[in-house]
């Protein structure tokens, strides 16, 4: 399996940014988690997918993250010391939510089928 530089950098950004968010982002009654980082091949941009629990706080969390984006970028620059350092941007990643809904529906369907067989 090949690892490209952008994938390795994305992995490090995900880990470091996750730590920073835990320490520096206070979301009353909510949790923000970095679930994915996609760095483009030319290393100019990194799209950071975050998951917010509860979902009702997504807009607030995104606003807080975007207000602190300069601090995060500066800390990543100091920590990673790579050139070029991708510019980060945040978005809400609903992938895990959708997966949980599908899994729940599949389990319900399985239970119904087992009930019909018995």
Of the candidate CATH numbers 3.30.300.20, 2.60.40.10, 3.40.50.720, 3.30.479.30, the domain formed by 5-117 belongs to 3.30.300.20
Cis status, amide bond into 58, omega within 30 of 0 = no
The answer for residues whose C-beta is within 8 angstroms of residue 52's C-beta and 6 or more apart is 27, 30, 31, 32, 33, 58, 61, 62, 92
pTM recorded for the entire structure: 0.76
d(CA 30, CA 26): 8
**Residue 5 CB neighbours (<10 A):** 11
Q: What pLDDT is stored for residue 67 in this prediction?
A: 95
Average predicted confidence (pLDDT) for the chain: 87
Which DSSP state fits 28? Answer: T
Q: What pLDDT is stored for residue 76 in this prediction?
A: 94
68-87 residue pLDDT tens: 999 999 999 999 888 889 99
The answer for residues whose C-beta is within 8 angstroms of residue 87's C-beta and 6 or more apart is 44, 45, 46, 73
């Amino acid at each position: 399996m090949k690892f490209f530089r952008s994938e390795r950098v994305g992995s490090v950004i995900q880990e470091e940014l996750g730590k920073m968010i835990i320490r520096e982002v206070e979301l009353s009654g909510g949790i923000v988690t970095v679930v994915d980082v996609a760095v483009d091949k030319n290393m100019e941009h990194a799209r950071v997918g975050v998951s917010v629990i509860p979902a009702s706080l997504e807009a607030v969390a995104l606003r807080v993250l975007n207000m602190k984006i300069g601090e995060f970028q500066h800390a990543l620059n100091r920590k990673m010391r790579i050139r070029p350092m991708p510019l980060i941007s945040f978005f809400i990643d609903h992938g895990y939510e959708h997966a949980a809904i599908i899994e729940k529906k599949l389990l319900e369907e399985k239970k119904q089928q087992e009930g019909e067989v018995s």
